[in-house]
Amino acid sequence: MREVYFLSDFGLADPYAAVVKAVMRQVAPGLAVHDLAHNLPPGDLRRASYILYESVPYLPRGAVVLAVVDPGVGSSRRAVLVLGERLFYVAPDNGLLTLAYLQDPPKKAYLLEDPAYHLPRKSSTFHGRDVFGPVAAHLAAGVEPQRFGPELPVRELLRLPIHLSFGRQGEVLTFDRFGNAITTLLTTPAQIRGKAVCIRYHRIPVATHYAEVPVGAALAYIGSAGLLELAVHLGNAREQLGLREGDPVELCEDRWD
């Protein structure tokens, strides 16, 4: 039986994530379900997409990723099963898999239209429980992907307008729970050596780790996913520097001209 890795914005103050896991284990007794994250800001597709980008390379081949961040639940948005080169993805087709596709390119996709693999009574607001969870469990238990519904050309899968780049200019993609700003710039130590990062009215020096700058000082560094990040040592860059998603970011010279 395949393992399932579960991402949602359901939080932990409500029973939603636990109910989805309970439903999956009724479909597939003994199923191993691992939590990727549940305390995302509600409906934050960019944050969800980044979490998958960071996680996907480390998940075991053949695992099922259940990703439910679904602000369009109950609407005409599609529910899909995507077969990547390494992993299976069960999710709404709303762009949250955008960055996962960069790590694990999609090979085939299917619409989740066969009600035989859904709960008998389907609500209009909780497809994580009624559709996505049951499908993920059936898939993990060995049901063939084509059984869930008709094939969808992978070129029709929705993608968010997020562009990762090795260039000098990018933007703030999202923030982690510490308030660190994760940008769209893919970087190497050689590329950022002798540089600073310009964002809003700030010119932030490049460092290799937090303690390289004084407490309360800002720094830029290569994060664990290979993307340029901005932080404040023992502080919150989002709040203290007044940063927002989409803010332009540029590599600049480490001096004032």
Give the DSSP letter string of 168-183: SEEEEEEE-TT-PEEE
Residue 179 exposed, middle or buried by CB count within 10 Å (0-12, 13-18, 19+): middle
pLDDT the model gives residue 257: 44
pLDDT of residue 109: 98
Q: What is the mean pLDDT of residues 21-46?
A: 97
What local confidence, expressed as pLDDT, does residue 239 receive?
97
Mean pLDDT of 201-208: 93
Chain centroid offset of residue 233 CA: 25
> Is the pLDDT at 163 greater than 80, yes or no?
yes
Output the DSSP codes for 135-174.
HHHHHHTT--GGGGS-B--GGGS---S---BSSSEEEEEE
Q: Are 190 and 146 in contact (CB under 8 A)?
A: no
> What number is the average pLDDT over the span 37-63?
97
> In the prediction, which pLDDT does 74 show?
85
Model pTM?
Answer: 0.95
pLDDT at 253: 80
User: Can you read off the two tokens belonging to residue 209?
Assistant: 């780790």
